[in-house]
Amino acid sequence: MEGVQYNVISEDVGAAHRQEREAIERRKAEFEKQGPSNRAVDFDILNFHTYEEIVQYLIDLANEYPEIVELESIGLTFEGYDQVCSNKRQMGF
């Protein structure tokens, strides 16, 4: 097209998508191998995570640190997922 500037970011979006899905599946398998206390500490926030992984991370945190982490649902999303949030408990200082 004349007059329209563009940059090609990916020559093959399908291949990039497959690579990302494979990386997610590898990370998911590693995540599931870890015990709850390791998952609570070693969660990788720099990569995409599924809803299930994020919720499991929050559950692991609440179980590992019940004195400071409390979970609650604040309702459902349009798709029917719980909107889970974490509240910091008062430490009594």
Tell whether 5 is covered by a domain: no
pLDDT computed for residue 80 by the predictor: 92
90 domain-assigned: no
Read off the pTM: 0.57
The whole-number average pLDDT for the span 61-85 is 89
Structural domain total, the chain: 1
Find the mean pLDDT for residues 6-10. Answer: 87
Residues 18-64 have pLDDT tens digits of 998 898 788 777 777 776 656 666 677 777 788 888 888 888 888 88
**Contacts with 2 (C-beta within 8 Å, 6 or more apart), sequence order:** none
Residue 89 lies in a domain: no
- Whether 50 is in a domain gets the answer yes
Q: Does any domain span residue 43? A: yes
Residue 62: domain span: 13-67
